[in-house]
Amino acid sequence: MGMRDKYRKPTTFRCNAGSRCSMSAVVWSLVGFLLFLHLYSLFSHNGGKDGEIQFHSSHHPLIRELEQVEEDNIQIPPPRGKRSPRAAKRRPKRTTTLIDEFLDENSQLRHVFFPGMKSAIDPMNDAGNNSFYYYPGRIWLDTEGNPIQAHGGGILYDEMSKTYYWYGEYKDGPTYHAHKKGAARVDIIGVGCYSSKDLWTWKNEGIVLAAEETNETHALHKSNVLERPKVIYNDRTGKYVMWMHIDDANYTKAAVGIAISDSPTGPFDYLYSKRPHGFESRDMTIFKDDDGVAYLIYSSEDNSELHIGPLTEDYLDVTHVVRRILVGQHREAPALFKHQGTYYMITSGCTGWAPNEALAHAAESVMGPWETMGNPCIGGNKMFRLTTFFAQSTFVIPLEGLPGSFIFMADRWNPADLRDSRYVWLPLIVGGPADRPLEFNFGFPVWSRISIYWHKKWRLPSVWRA
Ligand code: GAL
């Protein structure tokens, strides 16, 4: 075999019926085919109604200002006091991180993470230029001038009264440790409820589900744990149904609790608690889909995975259908929402009250499979983004009339004094290609990117407020 043949051989091969194809033609066809597949999946997934082709949800001019990337340059203060050379030898200097500063009650940066009462958001007195502004992390007062107590909460929009209701953990009691190694806790007081027409001015509607003071065997006995209450309305039964995480002080019961009411402002009757599908259930949420089917999503198997399953028609129980999702990913604090037929979810890692990195996930069907996209946080600084702005997801509020725009609700926990935990509300925008799955998406859906933008101060567009 001559030299020419020797080099030619690998670049040609026999196709059907013995015809010879050039390798480059095959390569180019393959490239063309993959490009076609890629464009097809891009368009088919994000295509507008009636076949109209649309790139990722174009950003509404009204929300452009919310998408501005705001940097925040927090400097770690130098260590206080001089260390003796002996002390320095015994214990080498540890570099302080912003998380250490955040968790240190005596940090010089305390006022940055937990600003004092003077800077509180006070809708009754902040009218005029300051009205409708959210200041993530500041104390937020209700219409009576008291700090809002609705931690680990969620929002129900009540069509009947055209009112928003914010339910959450009412934690206005002393923080203590049930035992040395136990997590910081506040006795159950109950579920707080606040009402609002504008998502900024909140009227205290009282405790709509109260703790049990005397009966120690009751799930709601004050020595237990009631976290992350969420309420949805059942159109068939006309009842407001509340689901919550119910536990003992050691978090070994790992159950859900269900309560029911005829009115969004309660009182809610506690029905029972159980381990859904027989599995452990800790951090959880519920999600009502457009077709009226509602789902329970909970951290299970030692928080190593999430489970999702539909509720019964009356929303008072789970059915037998359940799927394991994000298996082995150790996620909690799930917050679900939907945009243009795609389901999205924000979760946190599992580090107790300490903040950690959020992740966004997406799915074509609410029952999965769910794909993890990456960290949705934008702006602030790297530490802000790696700690979800020093907060943990709890709920995502859809904004009627602003498709693709949502409010991300998170808790900035204060484990030294849990009642003083703060709310971090920020704009969450769906749009633009996600970075990760794009590269491998041969025929699979391309998810839009989820972005949560840091702002020291922001408000919803005036059109929405009106
Ligand atoms: C977090 C969880 C909170 C609460 C806390 C207790 O991981 O998201 O809801 O349970 O742990 O340490």
Q: What is the DSSP string of 150-206?
A: -EEEEEEEETTTTEEEEEEEE--S--EESSTTSPEE----EEEEEEESSSSS-EEEE
Q: How many domains does the chain have?
A: 2
Look-up of token digits 């949805």: 232
Distance 302 CA to ligand 1 centre (A): 13
Instruction: For residue 9, tell me if it sits in a domain.
Output: no
Q: What is the pLDDT at residue 434?
A: 60
Distance 184 CA to ligand 1 centre (A): 10
Yes or no: say if 334 and 359 are a contact pair by the CB < 8 Å rule.
no
Q: Are residues 216 and 343 in the same domain?
A: yes
Q: Are residues 222 and 295 in the same domain?
A: yes
Nearest CA to ligand 1 atom 6: 352
Instruction: For residue 452, tell me if it sits in a domain.
Output: yes
Q: Are residues 47 and 164 in the same domain?
A: no
Domain that holds residue 172: 61-76+83-465
CATH assignment of the domain containing 361: 2.115.10.20
Q: Are residues 251 and 274 in the same domain?
A: yes
Ranges 89-93, 249-253, 264-268, 455-459: which has the least confidence: 89-93
Comparing 1 with 190, the larger pLDDT belongs to: 190
Reported as a pLDDT band with limits 50, 70 and 90, residue 444 is low
Cis status, amide bond into 123, omega within 30 of 0: no
Q: Beta partners for 284? A: 298
Measured from CB, residues less than 6 Å from any atom of ligand 1 are: 152, 183, 227-228, 283, 332-333, 350, 352-353, 392
CA distances from 4 to 7, 8, 10, 20, 107 (A): 5, 6, 11, 17, 76
Give yes or no for residue 457 having a pLDDT over 50.
Answer: yes
Distance 219 CA to ligand 1 centre (A): 18
Yes or no: say if 319 and 150 are a contact pair by the CB < 8 Å rule.
no
Give yes or no for residue 46 having a pLDDT over 50.
Answer: no
Distance 197 CA to ligand 1 centre (A): 30
pLDDT, tens only, 115-149? 999 999 999 998 788 899 999 999 999 999 999 99
pLDDT, tens only, 351-366? 999 999 999 999 999 9
Q: Are residues 312 and 357 in the same domain?
A: yes
Instruction: For residue 117, tell me if it sits in a domain.
Output: yes
Which atom of ligand 1 is found nearest the CA of 227? 9
